[in-house]
Structure 1
């Protein structure tokens, strides 16, 4: 087996990109162990996004919200609802300046206050006019705070933040969940122009709640697609092409199986290569002549944009070379026969001149 790449590849160095040959690494038990340990260490060292922890807080009223105010025992102070008017239609809308108007109270600043604070404020203002006043307030329509969900979800759109905390998982669920083409490990949060990459796959599979952050008004969530999460299968397999890594996992054995397996009539199972690009290219080699070597393939994780190549057997390559020579030999024999037929060959025959 060759020890280095046959051509020079662009490699990132402290002095910048330079053309260099890359070592070919053998896929053996030691390499598989190192890869698994490195993966576990990377997860342990991963820095979670610095975000506000999830905890329940009272909803704060904002401009555009619709409030229903009920003064018990005084229906004349409550706008009526019925079959023809919903609570939203009959409620009190918070104006753009964050105020509402209520009888005997006048104009009140309610923006930024919780529902209990608004209730206490109205009760205090009504107490000079009503003895033992009892006020009930609820939000009939949440209109002041919203988030935007885009990308690979079933129903992209605008969603209101209510008195129930809106998290990333909740937002995706309200948007109908992920599509089949979604990359759950790449959910981009745009908060006031600051981008944070979230991994919801870690939430679902490892319980990493640090990725399930609480959303704020104006946040934009974009779920990436799987177009970049592909590996490319080339060489002597039954079906060459590309495969999509689903849920962040695909091993070398899985890729070989999904491509129809090695073509045993033409492939050289000693020469299976994985080529990995990037700033520091890597080349891996697996000799899978014996079936138990495929256990190493099962323990070798592929990464997106990897190239899997199965080389051609030497005998098959030789046969192709011979078959390519055969038409050339037949052509020369046919050409010689034509010359003899037309009288242009050697000997003392007459010369054929079509003119």
Structure 2
């Protein structure tokens, strides 16, 4: 009987490599072969230490505003366009002037910029105003009236700046078209005038479409990075979309799942806690991995000149954390998760032997029972 047990054990030990697993072990992931594979596969393998965490915190990502950096500031909105409604008031120095009335020495003329960009003022004729500032229109009308009116003085007031409208749609409380004031309008102001987002700011994505170009950012990033709160220009289309952030957890964790962000920020330590932590008897505490894409500029700060081999602006990065070191727990509290991150916890090298013991446990029990019966 004992000989039979030894034979069975030997056969099981021979087949341990075929036992089911939850993924590669940590000892495989950190081997030189994997380092070589990182070069061939164009991804970076980075150990999480204090220097790496500080570099990640200090790095300033490429700003959303960069897509619109050639756009002028708020003065652009003061230019008049088709459909704008104006009130032109003309004063004269004598009561017998062209525009004098029994009630006074001035008259107010409401006008609308026509489809060709012109307005009509009596005795001044048709004047092209599209693309001009309010002051430019005022000076132009006054110049046209010289020699016709008695020392004319002109005031131009914009009643409706219809040509300087932007459209805000999507997950906002009051979608619609909103006109700019003379001083212009920033992106956050347009969102506020549309009633704000219906969802949490960290779950809302803002897309600005301008001509053939476009830019996208999280709504919360407009506040965190003030440069992203760009000046709008007439004709901009703004879309707010609800896009909850998630991360995935695989390997030797107690719950393999897709996890939504429940707060604005989630650290790696909190992410591990949300999936139940490491799986007993299987997880290798030295093999905690975080997969994500990083800007090439950040990878260069972390890897130095060796990062020059990456040609893409977005580089796949694998961060490795060793929880067998006490400092790693503080580092895990400092490293914030991002949307679509993947946490992988590697199996411990002895996990396969643990599975083997679980399989032969019932067999050993049966053999002991048989030996007891034979002895009796």
Question: Shorter chain as normaliser: what TM range?
Answer: 0.5 to 0.7
8 Å CA contact 2:169, 2:175 repeated in 1: yes
Task: Give the whole-Å Cα distance in 1 for the aligned partners of 2:115 and 2:317.
Answer: 59
8 Å CA contact 1:153, 1:182 repeated in 2: no
Find the partner of 2:235 among 199, 213, 218: 218
TM-score by length of 2: 0.62
8 Å CA contact 1:251, 1:302 repeated in 2: yes
Aligned CA-pair RMSD: 4.5
Task: Give the whole-Å Cα distance in 1 for the aligned partners of 2:362 and 2:160.
Answer: 82
Question: Cα 1:120–1:282, aligned 2, differ >3 Å: closer, same or farther?
Answer: closer
Q: Deviations over 1:259-315 (max 9, x none)?
A: 165278777472663341568655444444677642121122333322224568978
| Matching of residue 251 in structure 1 with residue 267 in structure 2 | yes
1:219-234 aligned at under 5 Å gives the runs 219-223=236-240, 225-227=242-244, 229-234=245-250
1:166-185 aligned at under 5 Å gives the runs 166-180=185-199, 182=201
8 Å CA contact 1:182, 1:224 repeated in 2: no
How far residue 55 of structure 1 moved from its aligned partner, in angstroms, is 5.1
1:292-331 aligned at under 5 Å gives the runs 293-310=328-345, 318=354, 322=358
Q: Deviations over 1:141-180 (max 9, x none)?
A: 1111222334444434322233121222222222223343
How far residue 193 of structure 1 moved from its aligned partner, in angstroms, is 0.5
Q: Which residue of 2 aligns with 1:40?
A: 58
Find the partner of 2:88 among 69, 74, 84: 69
TM-score by length of 1: 0.65
Task: Give the whole-Å Cα distance in 2 for the aligned partners of 1:12 and 1:222.
Answer: 39
How far residue 2 of structure 1 moved from its aligned partner, in angstroms, is 0.9
Q: What number of residue pairs does the alignment pair up?
A: 305
Question: Cα 1:34–1:44, aligned 2, differ >3 Å: closer, same or farther?
Answer: farther
Q: Give unmatched runs, 5+ long, in structure 1.
A: 80-90, 331-355
Q: Which residue of 2 aligns with 1:339?
A: none
Q: Which residue of 2 aligns with 1:132?
A: 151
How far residue 250 of structure 1 moved from its aligned partner, in angstroms, is 3.1
| Matching of residue 262 in structure 1 with residue 288 in structure 2 | no
Question: Cα 1:125–1:292, aligned 2, differ >3 Å: closer, same or farther?
Answer: closer
More deviation, 183-192/317-326: 317-326
How far residue 102 of structure 1 moved from its aligned partner, in angstroms, is 2.6
Q: Deviations over 1:76-114 (max 9, x none)?
A: 8436xxxxxxxxxxx321110111223333322222222
8 Å CA contact 1:8, 1:19 repeated in 2: no
| Matching of residue 241 in structure 1 with residue 258 in structure 2 | yes
8 Å CA contact 1:183, 1:223 repeated in 2: no
Question: Cα 1:245–1:320, aligned 2, differ >3 Å: closer, same or farther?
Answer: farther
Indicate the SS of the match to 2:162.
Answer: coil
Task: Give the whole-Å Cα distance in 2 for the aligned partners of 1:118 and 1:140.
Answer: 14
Question: Cα 1:269–1:98, aligned 2, differ >3 Å: closer, same or farther?
Answer: same
Task: Give the whole-Å Cα distance in 2 for the aligned partners of 1:53 and 1:47.
Answer: 12
Question: Cα 1:2–1:52, aligned 2, differ >3 Å: closer, same or farther?
Answer: same
Question: Cα 1:180–1:115, aligned 2, differ >3 Å: closer, same or farther?
Answer: same
8 Å CA contact 1:245, 1:304 repeated in 2: no
Task: Give the whole-Å Cα distance in 2 for the aligned partners of 1:285 and 1:35.
Answer: 12
Q: Which residue of 2 aligns with 1:78?
A: 108
Instruction: Tell me which protein shows more helix as a share of its residues.
Output: 2
Indicate the SS of the match to 2:288.
Answer: strand
